[in-house]
Amino acid sequence: MDNIIQGIAIYALPVIFAITLHEAAHGYVAKYFGDLTAEMAGRITLNPLRHIDPVGTILLPLMMFVTSKLLMGSGLLFGWAKPVPVNFGRLRQPKKDMLWVAIAGPGANLLMAFFWAALIKLGMGMPDSIYTRPMMLMGIAGIEINVVLMVLNLLPLPPLDGGRIAVSLLPNKFAWKFAQIEPYGFTILLVLFVSGILSVVLWPLITFTKQMIVTLFGLYI
């Protein structure tokens, strides 16, 4: 039980900020390209309380972490925040600008992974204390969570960010047809997850990205 409580304490901040800053980034970039919907809804903010979904940001990640810790000895996490409202029709060039709005979320996760890597690097250079080990463990959790969210969201399946990126890049005729998948996107994602196909596809990309960050920052974790 102590390990579970310690794990929750270590993962709490990385999870909350990974999910909420991802959404805030969508809103900020949408505003830059002309859509003020997120700003009017008060969603362009770094305040996590404005983005937290009680189920997706707190309850589900907590249940998954505790259950996986008890059953497998390692914590697994997945979650979501309240989606930031974006009206793509209000963007100055809707199809073109959709690309940048969509890529903003995964981009924010990559930057946060770099931040947590830098925190680990800082901890490696500090004398051992009661603070350095929790700080480094939190950094490791931050890298893992942000890389998983980034890679998952780049999956080319609407309504994930990767799906919207694909719609933006495809010729109009194919983009329209591809966008019709969106109502079934989460069902497809669930089937891929349950069947194990999702992990087969994503895990090599997650491992590669984590290794790239570790190498870039010269970490030993």
Query: Of the listed 23, 39, 144, 182, which one is catalytic?
Result: 23
Reduce the DSSP state of residue 151 to 3 states and report it.
helix
Q: Pick the closest to residue 56 from 37, 95, 82, 26 (CA basis).
A: 82
Structure tokens, 205: 């990309």
Among the listed residues 74, 75, 73, the one whose alpha carbon sits nearest the alpha carbon of residue 65: 75
23 is catalytic: yes
Helix (H, G, I), strand (E, B) or coil at 126: coil
Nearest Cα neighbor of 61 from 188, 149, 189 is 149
CA distance 81 to 17: 10
Are residues 31 and 85 in contact, defined by beta-carbon separation less than 8 angstroms? Answer: no
Q: Calculate the alpha carbon distances from 191 to 54, 91, 187 in Å.
A: 24, 33, 6
Catalytic residue annotation: 23
